[in-house]
Each structure stands twice: as C-alpha cells, then as structure tokens.
Amino acid sequence: MYAMLFFALAQTPAQPQAQSPLPPAAPTVSGFPGNPTGFRPKLEIPFNRFYDYPELLAWMDKLEATFPKLMRHEVIGHSVEGREMRVYTLTNAEKGADREKPAMWIDGNVHGNEVQGGEAVLYTAWYLLENYATLPEAAALVDDCTFYLLPSQNPDGRAHWFEEAHTAHSSRTGVQPHDDDRDGRFDEDPADDLDGDGQITQMRKYVPGQGNFRLDPDDPRLMIYVPQNDKGIKGDWILLGEEGIDNDGDGQINEDEKGGYDMNRAWPGMWQPDFIQYGAGPYPLYWPETRSIAGFLLDHGNVAALQSFHNNGGMILRGPGAEAFGEYDGQDLAAFDELGRDGEKMLPFYRYMVIWKDLYSVFGGFTTWAYEDLGIISFTNEMWNTDQYYPDRSKAPDEGGRGGGDKARHFFDDNLLLGAGFVNWHPYKHPFYGDIEIGGWRKDVGRVPPSFLVEEMLHRNALFCLKHAKAMPKVSIEEVKVTDIGDGVKAVDAIFKNQHVIPTRTGRAASMKIGEPDAFTIAGKDVEVLAGGFRSDRWRPEKIDLAEREPARLLRETGIGPRGEVRVRWLVRGKGTKVTLAWQGEKARDVSLDVELK
Amino acid sequence: MLFAPVLLASVSLAQTAPVSQEAHAPLLAHQDLQQSMKQLATAHAELVSVVAVGRSRAGRAIEGLRLMAGERSSGRPAILVVADVDGPYVWTSTLALEEARTLAEGYARDERVKKLLDTTTLYFVPRADPDAAEGRFAAPLFEQWASGAGVDNDRDGRVGEDPPSDVNGDGVITTIRVPSPEGEWIEDPTDPRALVKADPKKGQRGKWKLWTEGRDLDRDERVAEDSELDAVVNLNFPQGWRELDPRAGRFATDEPPAHALCDFVLLHKDIALVLTYGAQDNLVEKPKTIGDGGQRTRRLPPDGTIDADGELYAEIGKRYKKLTGSKAKGENDARGSFQAWCEQQRGLWCLNIAGWTMPLDEPAPKKEGEAEKPKPEGDQPEPSDDAKRLRWIDAHNEAARFVAWKPFQHPELGAVEIGGFAPYAKIEPPESERVELEKKQYEFLLTLGELLPRVVIPECSAKALSGGLWEIKAAVENHAFLPLLSAAARRAESVRPARVTLRLPKDAQLLAGSGESLLEDLTGTNGRHEYRWLVHGAPPKALGVEVETDHAGNAQATPEVK
C-alpha cells in the first residue's frame, strides 16, 4: 500500500523541483553463477522441463551461437532412423586446440526413456559458458580442458519416447526392427494406446470374487494385493498388464515391441552375446549409434574423464560391470573413490556403488568399456531417486501395507502437482477382455523428477561432472636443479608433478598397454645427453633406473600417479648453456621448461 | 620352385613348370581371383552370380559367388563356404573357386550336382582376408597373417618402425638365430636344422635366441618387433575375443573383413551350415566338448562345442575321413575366430577343414648299407615335430620349404645365422597333390546338402466328429542327419525355430490347439512332432497346415479326410 502511495505521489504533476542526483542503476552482470540476484544469463533456457531431440539440439545450437568462440559441433554419425549424432566440443580454442588438452566426455540417454541425461549435458554446457566471463574457475575449465558433449546416445529412442505413447520404462531400446518373440515377424506386437491419451498405462478388470486385488476403501485408485489364504477371501479385481491387444494373433499381448535391444550392452569391454547378456545384439557395436561413438573415443586419446547419464535410482556407478573381471587397479581406485565420495556429498540420495557388486553383473556396458579398454576414469550417474519425493522421511505419509508406497506417491502428486501425474482409472471395452478399466502413472512419473525438481537434479549432476573434470591430470615441472659433476658433466634434476587425483596414465592403461607411455625429454643446442633415468630415491640420486637407450627421451608406461611426482635425473655435457625439459602425454597438456645450465 | 622369390614376380606360378593336362589353376592374386569369379558368373549366368560381401582395410573388394538353380524360393537352406579364412591359406581360395566351377559345369551332367543345387543354395567366399592373402604375391616373401590395426608393440611411441625384413637378400623373410646367453632354443638332437626349447629340468641349457628376420632399426635390442600391422582378421570375431591382445584388433569386428563377414551371415538367414578352409579342423579330430552347454562360471559359459553337437561333428568327421583320407589336423585354438562365432553364437553348423598339413609320419631315413638295427637301450630322443617335417621335406624333394641355416653378418646383431622354414611352407600342399585334394574336397562338399534339416509334413488328416466338428492332425518331421537346431542354436536362441500355423477361414472357430506355435525340438534323422486341433465351421479343404523356417525349407499340407 505504501508503495502505491509513493508511486501516486511521484505521478502527481508538480512544479519542477530540484532532484537529488541518484547513481545510475547497477549494471546487471551477465552469466548465471547460481546466485539468484543481479545476474541475467545471456541465454535463458527453462530447466524445469525436458526437450525432444530437435528442441535439445536447437538449445545446444543456440548456445553455440551465443558463445561462438567457445563451442562448436561436428556430426559423428547417424542413428538407425537417420538422426544426427552430434558431438559439441567446448573449449577455448585460443588457449589451445581441443586435442592438446585433457578432455571430458559427457553424454546421456543411451536408453531412450532415460531422457534427463540430455538436459544434463545441455545444463553443463550452459553453466560453463554463462560463467566463463565472470567466474575464474569456469574460465579455467574452459581454457585448460576440453569437453566433448553428446546430448543423446539414442536419439531415436528419445524421439519415440516423447512423440509416442510410452511408459516410464519403454522406448529404452533403439528402433531397428527386432524379432523379440522369434516368430519371424518384427515389432508386430507393441503396447497399444487404447484410450488415446498419449500414455501407456495399466489395464484392470472387475471380476467379483475371482480376483487377487481389492481396492483400497480410502482411495479406489489404489489396488491392494489379496494373498492366498484359508479363509476363502478373494479380491474383486485382476491386473491385466500394460495397455494393449494381441496385434499378431499369437495368443500373447505386447510381446514384440518396436526394437527390443539395449545399446548399453553393445560395447566391446567383456561383451557377451544375447543369450548371456540380454539386449547385446549379434556383435559388439552392432548399432550405428554405438559404432560412431566408439570411433570418436578411439580417435581421441586425450579423453581422461567420462560420464554417461542414465536414470534412475540415485547412484554414482563405476565398474567392474561383471564379477568375472576381477578388481580394478588400486591406484585408479584412489581417483574413483575420492570422486565417488565427494559425489555423494554433492548429490544427496545418491550412493557411490560398484555395478556388479551392488547391482548385478552386466556385460558390454559403456562406462566399463571406457575404463577397461580405454583406460579412462568413468562414471555412470543414475539420476533421480524417488526417495527425493520426501527428503524428510519422517514426514512421509503412512507407508503401511502394500498400498503404502502408492499412498505416499498419490499424496505428493495430489498436493504438489494437483494430480497431474496420475491417469485415473476409467472404463474401456477391450476386444478380448471385454469391460476393463485403464489407468496408471504417466510416463514422466517415477524415473524423471517432477518439473520443479528438475533443475536441482541437473545442477548437482552437472557440477559433479565439473568436479570430475577438475580432477583430470595437470603436469608441472618443478624444483629443477643443475649440479656440476666435473669435467663439464652436469646433472639436471627435475620433479614432474601431477597436481590432480586422476593419474596421467591409469593403472589399467599401464598394465594393458593402452595408448602411449608418457615421454620425459631433455634437449638443448650443443648439449649431449649422456645418461638419464627415473630416480627412485629422494635423497640418493645414484638410485636411478637408467634408460638403456635414448636417454634424452625417457618413456614411462605408468605416467605420473594421482597427485604424484616423478623425479628425473639427466647427465649432460657440452658447450650449450640451455636445455629444455618437457613432458608429453596423451591426457594432460604438454609442458616444458627452459633451464639454464650454469 | 614354389618359394623362390624371383619367379614370384610373375603372377601365374604355373608358368614356371611344364603344364600337364592335370595342372590346376595357380594361386590367385586378388585381381585374378576377382576376374575368375566374374568370368564364372558370366559363363553360367543362370546358376552363378557374384555377391558383394564388403571391403578390406586397404579397399580390396571381398566378394562371393551364389550358386542356385531355379527361382529364389523362401526357406531353401543354404551352405556358406568360406576359404582363406586365415590369410596365408591362399591355396584354399583356388580350392573353393574350383569347387564352384565344377558345380556350375556339372549341373547339366551330374545328377548329384543337380540334386544339390535344386534344393540348396551355395555361397562361396573364396577369400575372407584379401589384404593378408596378397602377401603371398609380394617380394620379398613373408608369411603375412596380420592385415589390420597396428599398435606400438615395443612401447616406444612409434608404430611400425621395426618390421620384419629380408636382411640377407635371399628373397624370403625367415628366421634369425643368434647365440645368446638368454637363448631358449637348442638344436634338435635328431636333426640340427630343427630347434627345440631347452628344458632346464633335463639339464639342457639354451643356446640360440630366435628372431623373425629383420633389423633393429630403433636400436632397442629387439629385432622386427614392431610391424605396421598387427590385427589378424580371424582373431577379430566376438566369441572368445582376446581383449587387448594386439593381434585381436581394437575391438571385435573392427577389422572390415570381419565386420563384413558377420553382416553377410546375419543377412543370409537361409545359411544352415558353414564350411571353412583354413587353419582349423574339427573333422579329422573330434573337437573337445564342454558339457551340455548349461554350465556357467560367474555367468559365463566355457568356450567350445556342446556335447550333443560334438557327437554329430564326430560322425560327420568319420565320413569325411573315409571319403577324403585326410589326416590333416588343424589348429584347435578357435578363440576370436569366425568359426567360433558362427558355431557358438549364431548356432550354425560349422565344418572346419585344414585340408593339408605337412605330414609328421615320414619314417626315419635308412642309411646306406644299414641292416635293421636293434633298438639301443636307454632314452632315444623323440624327434620334434619340426624334425619330422624335415624328414618329409627330404623324402619328397621339397627342399625349397626349408632354407638352410647360413651365417650372416647382421648390421645390428653381428654374427648370426639366417634360415628356417620358408614362408607358407607348412601351409601349402605340394602342387602335385593339389588336384587330388581338390577332387576329394569337392566330393565331400557334394554330400553336405543331404545333411541339412528340412521340414516336411508327411501326415495331415481330418476326422469328422459330429456337428461340423473336425479333428485335424498333422505331423512335422525332419529326416535329415542334422536336427532343426543345433544345441548351440538352442542355447543362443539365434536361429529362428519353425513356425507351425493352422490356417482357417475367418468364420471358422478353433476350439482346441494353437493357431500358431513355434517348434524348436526337431531332432535329426527321426525328428517328429505331432499336432492336433479341433475346428468347427469349416471343411478340411478350406484349412491348411503350414511350417515355415528361415533355414530348413517350408512345407504346406491340406488335411485329408480319413
């Protein structure tokens, strides 16, 4: 009310009066560092919803256009239905080419229904780019690292999930026709959207005295299971499964959906065929989406960190995927464990887990291949945990009985979403079952958060990615010392340090000879390198693993360990007064240092 | 002279010797093979066509021939013959091509050929790995196994800087032996040309270190350790793929010929049986088997042939040995091979033939004027396999197969000796034997059509029950030696079962039985499955029983009123 009064007064036409000079309005700083006042993003993207594939790419392209010096994209292949597989390369090229820097690969949505990974990739790019100009930490990441961003591994699956009727779990597969029931026909009996509401829900039928479910007297949406008993008590309802009819007349309903495979079982690491690992296809990288991605990764040896987003369950997963693999290298576990535990702090309701041990054995997974065959520290985050409906469990509605879990869900949906998530049971005349009812949760309930919790999920997971990226190796040459041995021979000692927890070469890469060893070099005009090697003792320089040949170029299969250091000594002689020490490796920026020989 | 490099400059080896009436086609370089296939297809256009399989890494076309008489009918079973599945087995390309040619020419004259081609489609892929095979025609000559992705074998940051090479200029790349305190090899006491590993437990101290002939250009004290190419096509398949082994490639099916062959097999669902010519052989020796196929250790089954299938391979093997007299035992490590994938993952019958190996049963030579010596007491050293091979070489005047050890001054190693088995020496049968070999393999190929499962409906009847109700009965049988699905196919669910359908008009009612069902269990020789339906509202002549498969033919029958 007072504001109105003030405003009214200000409006009153008055004689001109002397006005005190107000300072100009503080300029709004561009960018969006998560602080909610005084900032305006250059590009406003609503992060409370999900985007179908063309929209997702359109946002990425808009970002690229808004920050043209910092992101560009290339097409690395096409999906089964011809959609572009795009990798967006995010780095400041003025500070070095993408391949010269350690790179993090981020993707999502290999399962077509696990859509939020796409938005997580978008959010990560947006957050880095928006804050490049104003947050030094964002600038450092964009200047010193490369991000290879693939919004969706399975654009066909994603598109179909959005555009067609599905459940929360369907459209996981790609869409190449697949004979799921081995009857010689392909994709002939998918679920059917009988009531045309754009959702695939459940069918139930009223069969008084002959069913195994009864309705909750307080809420007829809820079905309570009636277990077998000696009292002759029966339910009045049966559940008939997902909406559908027997399209091919073979006596089964919904047994051959579109596609019917799992592209996250197609990767070459411990790959096994279908009968051992469901969904794997006839050989590794069978589907074009997977082969293009593998080709890119094999061609970019600078990838040192990797995240592939899935839903759901609230997990930060690492391999081994299969028990038969054994244990991961102890040195590498230092990086995995540190990032995993920090991740748990950044992502409430998420647990850091080992796939085969804490879930189940899986063969041919993407992140396990990336570590086991490419030597990259890799995680899969399963985004969103339904516990997040009630962060304070003590306040969740009564969980008693089998309907209890559903009770809590309905309370949430009814009160916080005005019932938007649930398709209430309604009658339908089924060609085979007769009078039935159709109803259930929408496809965007359960595996993806409600809209008002989407941005939090994206932000936390994106910042976990940035923490992972910050852990990529960074090498420096320090504590260089030149010692005069006599007769013109000089000893050059240097410590090569890796400042971060991801080693320059993982233990896995070293033991399986993946990629190339790190090179530690010395060179100088008119300087002869007589000997050199890696020192094993800080105090006794004579304890040295002398190179048998080519001392000016020392190769080290194990690289520089997590926050580790490698001490090197060279013995040189010559008229020259200067040498250049250098380190070259695949997964960190090359460094060099000029040293005066005095 | 089979292995003399100078003469290899010419494309056709047959020109080096007087050509007899029985002289077969020579070893075929890539262009000659392509040309011959094209000519065969042109000469017999009604039977033969060229089919594309893919391209090699270096861009050479990989092609096949399809032999089929008459119209393409659905469900006609097919046999796929893949030769030269291991690069150096170049001689088998000619073998496969000649088989195709003899079939095409024999269709009009030979009843057996007509019967085969009228009922079975044949695909021939004479050369699975054209890049490696072309090494056979290179100079200097090297037994080229690899054709694919190269790695930094010696971990010095460079790839391919220290390949095998012809150091002594004799036109062949063989073996270097160097006296060395780290040597593991000693001369075979029965024949000093052959080398055996020293056994310290027997008090033997190694003398020789062996290298593939080459230089130590990168001065790392290793010779010929880093070639440009490492991956071997027939190690690049998914079953038993040796992860992170440089010879196995970057990932299974990364090598274009492997990828192409897999896609060819997947595309041609009519293929019921694969016949390969290469290093493996599962007919001369019964393959070792792994049990009933259900065993799992940490979810993984063991590699290898399932018992039930092994029995059938053993029987086919018996017939093979009787027909061909072959004693050629092949390599039995099938990990990562095309054959292992076909058999264990695709569930196809896979007959693998080596065709020829250098015999190891040549008797020891009798010295002049020597009577039958009584066997001296005490341990007589048993000649090594290589020593036995040398006996055969000596006895058959095949001297070119072994290059005598000769001293040489090696630029990096100093005083060495160079020699050993010549490239391809252990692989290629003598020219004089090839015609007979080809004939026998052809005879065996002719018998394979009859083995393939084929669905038939020998009985289909209708019995009237009262009130317009009919009882329909049918039997589906397989009389061929092989069952509808191998045990491997059933485990992998990779070959589609037979689909048995009762066709009835719209207004008829099916009162008992399934209108459509899948049949997996149809054994060989006496496989039989019975069906029974009750139908109301249609006469038997309006009904039909149909059996449909991808790989074992189709059958239809109308119920006969009984």
Of A283, A363, A517, Cβ closest to residue B253? A283
| Confidence tier at A34 by pLDDT (50, 70, 90) | confident
Nearest residue of B to residue A295 by CA position? B254
Nearest residue of A to residue B251 by CA position? A268
**pLDDT tens track for A577-596:** 999 999 999 999 999 999 99
For B106-125, b/e burial (b = at least 16 CB within 10 A) is bbeeeeebeebbebbbbbbb
Tokens of B399: 């001297």
Hey, are the CB atoms on B252 and A282 less than 8 Å from each other? no
Of B341, B491, B497, Cβ closest to residue A275? B491
Please answer whether residues B134 and B120 qualify as being in contact, where contact means their C-beta atoms are separated by less than 8 angstroms: no
Residue B23 is predicted with a pLDDT of 52
Distance CA A377, CA A340 (A): 11
What is chain B's mean pLDDT, rounded? Answer: 92
Distance CA B31, CA B42 (A): 16
Residue A7 is predicted with a pLDDT of 44
Give the H or E element holding residue B267: helix B256-267
The three-state DSSP-derived secondary structure of B338-360 is: HHHHHHHHCCCEEEEECCCCCCC
Please answer whether residues A265 and A173 qualify as being in contact, where contact means their C-beta atoms are separated by less than 8 angstroms: no
The pLDDT of A423-450, averaged and rounded, is 96
Q: Determine which of A180-189, B63-72, B76-85, B426-435 has the lowest per-residue pLDDT on average.
A: B63-72
Candidates A279, A263, A81, A277; CA nearest to A180 is: A279
pLDDT at A238 over 90: yes
How many residues make up chain A in this entry? 598
Query: In this structure, which amino acid lies at residue B153?
Result: N
Q: Which of residues 359-398 of A touch B (CB under 8 A)?
A: 361, 363, 372-373
Q: Which of residues 495-514 of B touch A (CB under 8 A)?
A: 496-497, 499, 514
Of A271, A372, A516, Cβ closest to residue B252? A271
| Confidence tier at B116 by pLDDT (50, 70, 90) | very high
Residue B380 is predicted with a pLDDT of 75
Contacts of A285 in chain B (CB under 8 A): 251, 253
Distance CA A171, CA A188 (A): 15
Q: Determine which of B190-204, B239-253, B369-383 has the lowest per-residue pLDDT on average.
A: B369-383
Whether A574 and chain B come into contact, CB under 8 Å, resolves to no
Residue B22 is predicted with a pLDDT of 44
Residue A28 is predicted with a pLDDT of 62
Whether A284 and chain B come into contact, CB under 8 Å, resolves to yes
Residue B359 is predicted with a pLDDT of 95
Please answer whether residues A493 and A481 qualify as being in contact, where contact means their C-beta atoms are separated by less than 8 angstroms: yes
Cis peptide before A312 (omega within 30 of 0): yes
Query: Per DSSP, what are the bridge partners of residue B353?
Result: B277
Whether B294 and chain A come into contact, CB under 8 Å, resolves to no
**pLDDT tens track for A293-325:** 999 999 999 999 999 999 999 999 999 999 999
The pLDDT of B506-535, averaged and rounded, is 96
The pLDDT of B480-508, averaged and rounded, is 96
Please answer whether residues B59 and B114 qualify as being in contact, where contact means their C-beta atoms are separated by less than 8 angstroms: no
pLDDT at B223 over 70: yes
Of B220, B253, B299, Cβ closest to residue A549? B220
Please answer whether residues A503 and A560 qualify as being in contact, where contact means their C-beta atoms are separated by less than 8 angstroms: yes
Residue A245 is predicted with a pLDDT of 95
Of B221, B298, B341, Cβ closest to residue A323? B298
Question: What is the nearest CA distance from B387 to chain A, expressed in angstroms?
Answer: 37
Hey, are the CB atoms on A555 and B221 less than 8 Å from each other? no
Of B219, B301, B516, Cβ closest to residue A250? B516
Query: Per DSSP, what are the bridge partners of residue B217?
Result: none
Question: What is the nearest CA distance from B209 to chain A, expressed in angstroms?
Answer: 20
**pLDDT tens track for A518-571:** 999 999 999 999 999 999 999 999 999 999 999 999 999 999 999 999 999 999
ipTM: 0.92
**pLDDT tens track for B258-300:** 999 999 999 999 999 999 999 999 999 998 899 999 999 989 9
How many residues make up chain B in this entry? 562
Residue A393 is predicted with a pLDDT of 83
Hey, are the CB atoms on A549 and B266 less than 8 Å from each other? no
Contacts of B492 in chain A (CB under 8 A): 273-275
Nearest residue of A to residue B75 by CA position? A184
| Confidence tier at A170 by pLDDT (50, 70, 90) | very high
Distance CA B102, CA B109 (A): 11
What is chain A's mean pLDDT, rounded? Answer: 93
Query: Per DSSP, what are the bridge partners of residue A595?
Result: A579
Distance CA B290, CA B305 (A): 6
Residue A435 class from Cβ within 10 Å (0-12 exposed, 13-18 middle, 19+ buried)? Answer: exposed
Contacts of B238 in chain A (CB under 8 A): 271, 273, 283-284
Hey, are the CB atoms on B345 and A282 less than 8 Å from each other? yes
Residue A379 class from Cβ within 10 Å (0-12 exposed, 13-18 middle, 19+ buried)? Answer: buried
Contacts of A363 in chain B (CB under 8 A): 299
Tokens of B344: 């264990």
Contacts of B513 in chain A (CB under 8 A): none
The three-state DSSP-derived secondary structure of A465-493 is: HHHHHHCCCCEEEEEEEEEEEECCEEEEE
Please answer whether residues A527 and A570 qualify as being in contact, where contact means their C-beta atoms are separated by less than 8 angstroms: no
